[in-house]
Amino acid sequence: MKFIQHLKEEFAVIKERDPAIHSPWEVLLYPSFRVMIKYRKAHKLYLKGHYVRARWISQRAARKTGIEIHPGATIGKGLFIDHGSGVIIGETTIIGDNVTLYQGVTLGGNGKETGKRHPTLCDNVMVSAGAKIIGSFTIGENSKIGAGSVVLSEVPPNCTVVGIPGRVVRQENVRVPRASMDHIHLPDPVRDDLKTLQRENSELVNRVLELEKEMRCLQRTEKEKEKNNEIL
The pLDDT value given to residue 178: 47
Question: Does the reported pTM lie above 0.85?
Answer: no
The pLDDT value given to residue 58: 92
In this structure, the answer to whether residues 139 and 157 fall within a common structural domain is yes
In this structure, the answer to whether residues 119 and 224 fall within a common structural domain is no
- The answer to whether residues 189 and 167 touch, using CB atoms and an 8 Å cutoff, is yes
In this structure, the answer to whether residues 161 and 96 fall within a common structural domain is yes
In this structure, the answer to whether residues 63 and 99 fall within a common structural domain is yes
75-90 confidence digits (pLDDT tens) = 988 888 888 789 999 9
In this structure, the answer to whether residues 37 and 87 fall within a common structural domain is yes
What residues of the chain score a pLDDT lower than 50? 175-176, 178-179
The pLDDT value given to residue 74: 92
Domain limits for position 44: 2-187
The pLDDT value given to residue 186: 60
Domain end, chosen from 170, 187, 204, is at 187
In this structure, the answer to whether residues 56 and 38 fall within a common structural domain is yes
d(CA 190, CA 77): 35
In this structure, the answer to whether residues 126 and 214 fall within a common structural domain is no
213-229 confidence digits (pLDDT tens) = 888 888 888 877 777 77
In this structure, the answer to whether residues 177 and 192 fall within a common structural domain is no
In this structure, the answer to whether residues 196 and 118 fall within a common structural domain is no
In this structure, the answer to whether residues 208 and 182 fall within a common structural domain is no
Instruction: Give, in degrees to the nearest 5, the angle at Cα 92 between 90 and 97.
Output: 90
Q: What is the CATH number for 58?
A: 2.160.10.10
Number of folded domains in the chain?
Answer: 2
